[in-house]
Structure 1
Amino acid sequence: MKHFYSPKKLVNYNMYSSQFFTYVSFKEQNIRDDFWKIHISSNIKEYPDILKIVIPELVNRKINFKFINEFKNVQLFLSDRIPEAQLGKLITIYPKNLNESKFLLEFLDNKLKKYAGPQILTDCSYKSSKNVFYRYGQIKLNTKDGNIIFGPDGEEFIDDRKPYFHLPSWIKDPFQDSAYFEGGRLLKKYLLNGIIKKSNYGNVYIGKSRFNNEQVVVKQARKYIDNQGKLRNRENEYQLSILLRKKGFLNGPIPIERIEEKFSLFFIYKNKTNGSLSGFQANKGPSVAENKSKALINILAIERSLLVNIKRVHLLGYENIDISDKNIGWDEKNTYLLDLDSLKRIPSKDYSKVPIYWLTSFEKDSNALKDIRRAGLLFMYLFGDFNFLASSTDDIYKALYMMLERCFEMRINPQVLTFLVYIMTSKNPTINKSILLLDDAINTLKNDTADYNPEKALEDIVYNSIKNEKILLGSNQVLLFKLMNNISERTLIEYIKNESLGDLSIGLNGISGYLLLISEFPEDKKLIACKNRLIREILDRKVSFQGKTNLLSYSDYLKISPYLFDGVSGFLFAICHFNCYQEIIDEFVDTINSDYSKSNAIWNGMGGLALTNLLIFIKSNKLDDKKKLKTIEKQLFNSIQYLIIKNGKFYCIDFYSNKLFTDKNHGPIDLFKIINVFFKLEKYGL
């Protein structure tokens, strides 16, 4: 344990230590209830020299005092971790009377002229001294009346140690005619209206010019605090603001002037945005907004603008942007970097770890990449404080999955989070691609109108799925998508005639694929006969399974499938294209109402089941069938939960091949399209 002053030198006196202070007292001195106190502040480097000057004089004169003697406690009292009323109070002296107070103030002022310490906010500095202060207050704790000091005529003064110098009404300052007031030069020019951020290192204020009423932000940097890096950062920020504006970057702080006072530097900037994004999610975020889609478009625009600004700063050769809700402004068109004090030249080694805007996985990233990731965390904040979940659990995936579910609950297509998944989980995301994905998300939301055909939308999804899957139909092994809209009745009849139907599945890669082709020729009598033959073949495979009527996928072995590819969904999807099979649909629809599946894909997973149920619902024209809608909703919600996030993308798993797929029918793209149809159906009807 490191001490600044050896306790052995004080063994002959009444001395004891508390958690923070070492107390030295003398029998000759009576302890008053209240009187003048003298405080001495210092920086860590000069503190040992000050102790060597002050303590011998106090001991020689038998004056009670206390001081901080442990290195860690001195650091604490010069940091942002101590209440502002205690900042810098390293030595406290209790004079016996007024004459002794005057002597000590003069003595200390003369002896400590070359030293400096932080301003003690509750006190008045003595003359021109930069480390000697005094105040009037309680000496002995009054357990009965708390912190109340009573005057000679019953007056009351609450000694609440507020961060400014104030005296009881019956006490006059006996030491100097006019007290020094920190900020005097500043307040001659600017009127301060409030505090944006409080810190022992220096507050951030909002105000306006006394000359032209221009709105300003005033950033204070207190001198002589242990963290002098903060002062240097404030100075660097001011110079960088000037430099970046000269280079054409206009979305940062707009510097006006720099004012130096006795204990602080004040840096004045124009206030262009009238505040930061702090509190945005609670007032304007999608979770609280009535129009959730519009609110989401707004925060996507904020994210896009921020990424553009990050790119500009990087191109100018700087990184390590302090991105948080408190440091980013928004004027409904552009974002602004409100704080540049962490900015470093590329490449830089250090990086500021702002609470709730940091994950340990960022450690391996370059600082420029950290800037992009932190922009992603800011979006999570704007969306609904999900950055807190990600940071506190150090699990970005948990937070992303919860955001997917929240999107679904708000009836917003989860596809809009594709850009965020890319930013937060891709190995090396770029700003350009992030912006492209953001634009896709914004356009998706802006195109959400009632002008749509839900039935056609579902048909297109299946057609594209058939095309992308390259389905080979039956034993003829012809690509099904090539036959659709491009086959004659005669050729189709020949294909069916030559098929061994018993070898085909009942799904769209088999018998139901032919039914889908026949639906394009509803009036052809020969094809009607073929259709009836195909349906009989499927119905001949009827079985009872787990108490439900079901269908075997193949005639020669026991396999039951609910999927589009080879199962009941494919059959029901196909006969939905005819107007006379509602009884068959009603008989088998319960087999595709499962809540869970091994996959969420379209072709052989839950997505296809939900799609078929949606088509059946639309064809039935029963908009009051809430049970069916609830089934579809649960299937789609569970499909969202089955999405896999990996390497910056959404994936679906194909349980037949045990592979992950993205982009095509095995992947999530068509799943998102189905969800979009469902949401529009709820919102606009048929």
Structure 2
Amino acid sequence: MSLTYTYRNIEYLPPITFGFKIHVSATFQNYEYVLEIVKPYLEEKKIAYKFINNREDVYKAFSVHELAGECGKLITIYPSSLILMDTLEDLYQLLKNLDGIYILSDRPYKDSSLVFYRFGLFQDSKDIFQNGVPTVVSLDGEEWQDYPKTYFDLPSWVADIQPAQEENKESYLGDTYEVISVLHQSGGGNIYLAQDKKFGVPTVLKEARPNILSFYDIEKKELREKEYELALELQSRGVERLITPIEKVDEWINTYYIYHYVQGESLTDFCKKYGINSYSREHKQKNLNLFREFIGLINLLVNTLSYFHRAGLVLNDIHPDNFVVGTDGQLHFIDLENSYLYGDKSFTGITSKISLKRWNFLDGKQADYHKLGNMLLFLLARLSISEESQVEPSILDKMLKSYGIESNLLDFITYLLSEEVDLTGITTRLDSLYAKSISTNEAMPTLSQPSKKDTSFVQRVEYMCSSFEKYKVYVSDGKNLSVRSEDGIMRLMNSEQNLGINGLSGVVVLLHSKGYHTLALYGLEMVLNRLEETEDGLQVQIEGGFYSPYVFNGLSGVIQMLYYVDKEKYRGLILELRKSLYSEFSQYEDYAKGSLGVADTLLLTANYRKNKRLERCVKSLILNSFIYHQERKKPLDELSYVLSHYHKVYSC
């Protein structure tokens, strides 16, 4: 997560690459008081440090939105080894009896709740990064890498500054449950798949860490507790198709809520085979069959929601990740943190792609119906209406027709999103849902608006690559670089997280265009080393463990960079990489982060070798983008540019 830090006393930063740094945490209630105590001390002692000052950034750093191992880091202190222990002891005394977030990547000093330390990077250089990760190597060649961790870790050759911790051998959780895997990671506490050691049944352990926020005034632990109490109440009423509570356990500083595991597949994963991403304009009957199966799923969703409403439960947080299609064929709802009993007041409002902010003020059942309509859009075509745009149902309707399907699903979803929606109207319209095959016109669009004068590839990269701004202090056309400038550029490239045109690939292109070929090659090799091997070929991983095919931050950007630097040398690699781009559907329609950029990249590779699959994918991506552009009334410049490229390639 990107946070803004204030740096102080940097002139006193120890001249070392790695060492022990100190972290001071706090709670959202006492962080200002902690800063008032710690900052004057560090100023007086002339110790280098950085801290978060902006309240919004403090909230982010103390919330479920931050990585688990990074949560709680309010102040980072860089003492020299000579004053390390004295600094820790002074802070320990100054902050006694204050509460703070436990920092998972660190070890607490003595029994402090908010003074921690860890071994890590102090100052970077071009030589300490391996595949973008700071790395220290021992004299024996052993490597240790400083990446975000949820546990305290030291290089084997570095001694801890405190005696070894005594392990608590008594653990009710450890004696009762065997953890099998992590189902979900969160700063507020992970969710684990486990097994009851005595009975052998699968269970879920929902962990709650103290002082981690879900909202400005609500901790994640409060939501976990509320969920458990609601689950007990619903269990006593005999309500099924929900998570079933087993017990609550306090262990260490955390609370664990244990439930029976619902075996099955998340609705998100289950629907992937029925969504438009699985359609092809060459196989109309298959598309129709998949869509009719999706209509069957709509019936199941409506029946499940009406069952919960009859039981007096408002689901509230309707999202496909919160449903499981069980092995029993039923839909189960597995996240009650934001749910509530009808007639009660919602504990908190929610806002997401599925749940609009204004729906928090509606009757709970009506809001659930609206969210169901939005979820259907999302499941079928990764669409959702927002506060700014309401045209998504119409986009879906036109998309379906372009794949050879006529249906009244548009009317059904429009009704779900209307103020008049009720269960009777839903049931009536559900019974009349239909789908039939129609013929389609697959001619490429003819645009009356001509494309603007073409800009060069380098000019487009200059416009798109905002990351290059920080390199300008080192480079200028036609001038030799000093060793210090080269080192600075290499350090910046090592720290780039984005591999696309907005990041490292764009930097490589611009360095190459300015004649710094050696540095460009250095960055290019770094990009290639950081590609991820997957079942679908080499991919570009982005935040959250996802993979991006796009120009801005993904594989299309990498391919365009390779083609520009040396299209003949990298011919084989480019043809291999393009296999991962073969898709007829993209969630977005634009060039930088959508289907047009992917289509343009595939067209670039057609200069090597054409095939029917490539043309089919390109045509489908352009046609889909055209529908989006029409309905959203977006400028046609980018579409016109890619369409012109298509005609150049396929008129030869």
| TM-score with structure 2 setting the length | 0.57
Partner of 2:100: 117
Structure 2 residue 59 is matched with structure 1 residue 90: no
Q: How does 1:641-680 map to 2 (within 5 A)?
A: none
Q: 1:197 offset after TM fit, Å?
A: 3.5
Task: Report the CA distance between 1:393 and its aligned residue.
Answer: 5.7
Residue in 2 that maps onto 1:311: 306
- Distance change >3 Å, CA 283–CA 182, structure 1 → 2: farther
Alignment root-mean-square deviation, CA:
3.6
3-state SS in 1 of match to 2:336? coil
Q: Structure 1 residues 161 and 352, CA, compared in 2 at 3 Å: closer, same or farther?
A: same
Aligned letter for 1:151? S
Partner of 1:391: 386
Shift of 1:300: 3.4
Contact 2:22/2:76, CA 8 A, preserved across alignment:
yes
Q: Separation in 2 of the partners of 1:304 and 1:264?
A: 40
- For residue 430 of structure 2, what is the aligned residue in structure 1? 438
Paired position in structure 2 for 1:45: 29
* 3-state secondary structure, aligned to 2:51: strand
CA offsets 1:475-527 (integer angstroms, 9 cap, x no match):
xxxxxxxxxxxxxxxxxxxxxxxxxxxxxxxxxxxxxxxxxxxxxxxxxxxxx
Paired residue secondary structure (1:92): strand
Change (3 A) 1:424 1:66: closer
Q: 1:273 to 1:433 in 2, by over 3 A?
A: farther
Contact 1:102/1:175 (8 A) holds in 2: no
Q: Residues 59 and 287 of structure 1: is their aligned pair in 2 closer, same or farther, counting only changes over 3 Å?
A: closer
362 and 51 in structure 1: CA distance in 2 versus 1, 3 angstrom threshold: closer
State the partner residue of 1:200.
187
Q: Distance in 1 between matches of 2:75 and 2:357?
A: 40
Residues 22-78 of structure 1: CA deviation (Å, up to 9, x unaligned): 323676x84433222221110122223333444455455554433333433322321
- Residue 479 of structure 1 aligns with which residue? none
Relative distance call for 1:30 and 1:413 in structure 2 (3 A) is closer
Q: Where does 1:449-460 land on structure 2 (aligned, <5 Å)?
A: none
User: Which of 45, 51, 58 matches 1:67?
Assistant: 51
The aligned counterpart of 2:396 is 403
CA–CA distance in 2 between the matches of 1:354 and 1:181? 41
**Partner Cα separation in structure 1 for residue 319 and residue 171 of structure 2:** 32
Alignment partner of 1:169 is 2:159: no
Shift of 1:279: 3.2
- Map Cα deviations across residues 166-217 of structure 1 (whole Å, 9 max, x no partner): 1101013230312779997645544444444433233333343344442233
CA distance, structure 2, for counterparts of residue 174 and residue 382 of structure 1 = 52
Q: Per-residue displacement from partner, 1:409-462 (whole Å, max 9, x unpaired)?
A: 55555145554343223x322224323432443xx67xx99xxxxxxxxxxxxx
Please state how far the C-alpha of 1:376 moved relative to its aligned partner. Answer: 1.8
Find the counterpart in structure 1 of residue 9 from structure 2. 24
Residues 292-303 of structure 1: pairs in structure 2 closer than 5 A? 292=287, 295-303=290-298
State the alpha-carbon separation in 2 of the partners of residues 159 and 113 from structure 1.
30
Distance 1:108 1:22 in 2: 19
Match status 1:276 vs 2:278: no
Q: How far, CA to CA, are the matches of 1:35 and 1:361 in structure 2?
A: 50
The number of residues matched between the two structures is 422
Give the conservation status (yes or no) of the 8 Å contact 2:350–2:357: no
Amino acid at match of 1:429: V
Q: Which amino acid aligns with 1:141?
A: D
Write out per-residue CA displacement over residues 211-235 of structure 1, whole angstroms, 9 at most, x where no aligned residue: 4442233323321124434321111
Contact 1:124 1:180 in 2 (8 A): no
Indicate if the aligned counterparts of 1:299 and 1:382 stay in contact, CA closer than 8 A.
Answer: no
Conserved in 1, the CA contact under 8 Å of 2:205 and 2:259?
yes
Seq. identity, %: 25
Structure 2 counterpart of 1:48, one-letter code: E
Number of the residue aligned with 1:225: 212
> Larger relative contact order (C-alpha < 8 A, sep ≥ 6)?
2
- Residue aligned with 1:326, SS: helix
- 1:250: Cα distance to partner? 1.0
- Contact 2:69/2:187 (<8 A) preserved: no
> Is 1:381 aligned to residue 373 of structure 2?
no
Shift of 1:335: 1.1
State whether residues 328 and 336 of structure 1, in contact with CA within 8 Å, keep that contact through their aligned partners in structure 2. Answer: yes
1:571-582 alignment to 2 at 5 Å? none
For residue 329 of structure 1, report the CA deviation from its aligned partner: 1.3
Tell me the distance in 1 between the aligned counterparts of 2:383 and 2:56. Answer: 36
Distance 1:181 1:95, change over 3 A: farther
Answer yes or no: is the 8 Å Cα contact 2:64–2:220 preserved in 1.
no
1:134 to 2:117 alignment: yes
| Bigger Cα Rg | 1
- Structure 2: any 5+ residue segments left out of the alignment? 280-284, 438-626, 628-652
Matching residue's letter, 2:28: I
The answer for the alignment partner of 2:616 in structure 1 is none
One-letter code aligned to 1:306: L
CA contact (8 A) 1:319 1:348 kept: no
1:592-635 deviation line (CA, Å, top 9, x unaligned): xxxxxxxxxxxxxxxxxxxxxxxxxxxxxxxxxxxxxxxxxxxx
Alignment CA distance shift 1:78-1:179 (3 Å): farther
**Secondary structure of the corresponding residue to residue 136 of structure 1:** strand
Alignment CA distance shift 1:183-1:385 (3 Å) = farther
Q: In the aligned structure 2, how far is the partner of 1:161 from the partner of 1:361? A: 37
| 8 A contact 1:278–1:326 mirrored in 2 | yes
CA distance in 1 between counterparts of 2:50 and 2:352 reads 35
- Deviation string 1:520-560 (CA, Å, 9 cap, x unpaired) is xxxxxxxxxxxxxxxxxxxxxxxxxxxxxxxxxxxxxxxxx
- Is 1:245 aligned to residue 235 of structure 2? yes
Unaligned runs of 5+ in 1: 1-17, 450-640, 642-686
- Contact preservation (8 Å) 2:349, 2:357: no
Query: Which residue in the other structure is 2:340 paired with?
Result: 344
- SS of alignment partner, residue 35 of structure 1: strand
Judge conservation of contact 1:302–1:334 (CA < 8 Å) in 2: no
For residue 145 of structure 1, the aligned residue among 128, 151, 161 is 128
How big is the shift at 1:294? 5.2
Would the aligned equivalents of 2:270 and 2:325 in 1 still touch at CA under 8 Å? no
Equivalent of 1:79 in 55, 63, 67: 63
